């Protein structure tokens, strides 16, 4: 599956950070991780920390899948609002899911510091605003739910939003204190490089064609005719897992993003806040660490890569027009534009854990807008599972729910 079109900003910005060989011989290991993006890097980091001999394989160059296209907005807010998630899965698991995402941002900050990453991690506030007046009652209900369960939020009327952020044509919003932004492509490379020095083995441009269960675990066969024997395999291959899993667990969508030119004007009113709205599909915005504005959205149901890519010019124009509508004083000029594939689950939650059709295997699939924070949560969950321990979110994030 081709996950991105054109050249995502992060690839151009960073260039080739680290290069790894393809697999050329048969090997044995404790843990085999499929996927070398931000999710695979985080899970590998945990496995090395736990003392497992670990190998990462990626069918592309490292980080060149969805990680190269992510907008890397770190929010504890799940795509499904808290008050709706409570109705769907119950109060305990819904609230715990939100708090786990909340904690994961601070946990990721510690990892950034540990590996000494130059990924531009920055704590930010998050403004979730009503795109239409009709959205205000539901947004108010969401504000009350978050407030009830201890989240630090503030209700802002339209006038206050315009005064603070120069944001026009919006209708009220929820301001949250917990959020952040990063360059996930850079971070994935930094985490992997750090762990290579601790024994992690990485092979890119190596595709796994099939796996089979053995007496001691699994055996994976690559496109070069080599094999990897492991006690466990962990799939961190995101939306490409839909090629393996029979049941439909996620709805694939195409999303579009543009990044403006470097803007030297005073943007202090933007730099410490992430923005997203209540539209369906929603629009999301953030600044980058080199003074650019990034905006994404205009999602479409995923059909095929050719049709997705053919819409890119039209979507770039619509996104730039939206910026002109809500930020009329901002001198935005598009510098990069790209499309990518992502997915949404029925409840906005990830799939993390074992699947009955895949012996000795685990999946860490951080679907939706919280893929990175879900992957951080997945570190603890997978660590527990490999040790035979349970985790309080394994039912909420599990298959068959």
173 lies in the same domain as 264: yes
Same domain, 256 and 309: yes
CA distances 74 to 11, 12, 273, 387, Å, are 20, 22, 11, 29
Q: Are residues 253 and 333 in the same domain?
A: yes
- CATH code for the domain of 374: 3.50.50.60
Confidence (pLDDT) at 368:
80
The helix/strand/coil state of 160 is: helix
150 and 58 in a common domain: no
The predicted pLDDT at position 1 comes to 47
Q: How far apart are CA 364 and CA 381, in angstroms?
A: 9
From 312, 327, 344, give the residue that closes a domain.
Answer: 344
Question: Does residue 267 belong to any structural domain of this protein?
Answer: yes
Same-domain check for residues 359 and 325: no
Instruction: Give how many domains the chain has, as a whole number.
Output: 2
pLDDT tens for the chain, residues 1 to 401: 444 446 687 777 777 778 899 999 999 999 999 999 999 999 999 999 999 999 999 999 998 888 888 888 999 999 999 999 999 999 999 999 999 999 999 999 999 999 999 999 999 999 999 999 999 999 999 999 999 999 999 999 999 999 999 999 999 999 999 999 999 999 999 999 999 999 999 999 999 999 999 999 999 999 999 999 999 999 999 888 988 998 999 998 888 999 998 887 777 778 789 999 999 888 999 998 888 999 999 988 876 788 888 888 999 999 999 999 999 888 899 999 998 888 889 999 999 999 999 999 999 999 888 999 999 999 999 999 999 999 999 999 999 99
Say which CATH number the domain at 161 has: 3.30.9.10
- C-alpha 179/C-alpha 284 separation (Å) is 13
Q: What is the pLDDT of residue 4?
A: 45
Q: Can you give the residue range of the structural domain that contains 328?
A: 121-181+249-344
Q: How far apart are CA 81 and CA 137, in angstroms?
A: 13
Note whether residue 394 is domain-resident.
no
Per-residue pLDDT at 303: 65
- For residues 319 and 266, membership in a common domain is answered with yes
For residues 315 and 363, state if they share a domain. no
| Cα–chain center distance at 11 | 16
Residue 214's alpha-carbon distances to 48, 56, 156, 246, 359, in angstroms, are: 23, 20, 58, 22, 9
* Token code pair at residue 341: 């594939």
205 lies in the same domain as 332: no
3 located within any domain: no
pLDDT for the residue 6? 64
- Single out the residue of 33, 22, 64 nearest to residue 205, CA to CA: 22
């Amino acid at each position: 599956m081709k996950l991105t079109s054109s050249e995502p900003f992060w690839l151009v910005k960073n260039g080739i950070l680290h290069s790894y060989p393809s697999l050329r011989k048969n090997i044995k290991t404790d843990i085999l991780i499929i996927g070398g993006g931000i999710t695979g890097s985080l899970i590998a980091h945990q496995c090395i920390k736990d003392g497992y001999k670990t190998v990462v394989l990626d069918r592309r160059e490292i980080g060149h899948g969805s990680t190269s296209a992510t907008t890397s907005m770190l929010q504890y807010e799940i795509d499904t609002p808290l008050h709706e998630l409570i109705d769907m899965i119950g109060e305990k698991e819904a609230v715990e899911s939100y708090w786990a995402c909340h904690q994961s941002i601070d946990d990721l900050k510690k990892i950034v510091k540990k590996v000494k990453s130059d990924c531009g991690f920055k704590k930010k506030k998050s403004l979730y605003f009503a795109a239409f007046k009709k959205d205000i009652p539901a947004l108010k209900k969401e504000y009350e739910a978050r407030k009830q369960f201890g989240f630090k939020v503030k209700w802002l009327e339209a006038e206050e939003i315009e005064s603070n952020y120069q944001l026009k044509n919006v209708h009220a919003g929820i301001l949250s204190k917990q959020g952040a932004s990063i360059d996930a492509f850079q971070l994935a490379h930094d985490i992997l490089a750090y762990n290579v020095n601790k024994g992690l083995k990485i092979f890119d441009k190596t595709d796994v064609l099939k796996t089979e269960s053995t007496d001691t675990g699994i055996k994976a066969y690559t496109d070069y005719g080599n094999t990897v024997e492991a006690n466990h395999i962990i799939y961190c291959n995101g939306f490409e897992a839909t090629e393996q899993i029979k049941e439909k667990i996620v709805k694939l969508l195409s999303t579009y993003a543009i990044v403006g030119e470097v803007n030297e004007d005073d943007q202090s009113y933007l730099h410490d806040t992430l923005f997203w709205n209540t539209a369906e599909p929603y629009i999301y915005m953030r600044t980058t660490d080199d003074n650019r504005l990034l905006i994404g959205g205009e999602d479409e149901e995923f059909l095929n890569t050719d049709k997705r890519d053919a819409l890119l010019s039209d979507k770039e124009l619509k996104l730039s027009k939206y910026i002109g509508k809500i930020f009329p004083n901002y001198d935005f000029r598009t510098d990069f534009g790209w499309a990518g594939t992502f997915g949404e689950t029925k409840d906005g939650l990830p799939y993390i854990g074992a699947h009955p059709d895949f012996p000795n295997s685990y999946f860490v699939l951080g679907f939706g807008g919280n893929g990175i924070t879900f992957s951080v949560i997945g570190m603890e969950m997978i660590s527990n599972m490999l040790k035979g321990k349970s985790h309080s979110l394994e039912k909420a994030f599990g298959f068959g729910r």
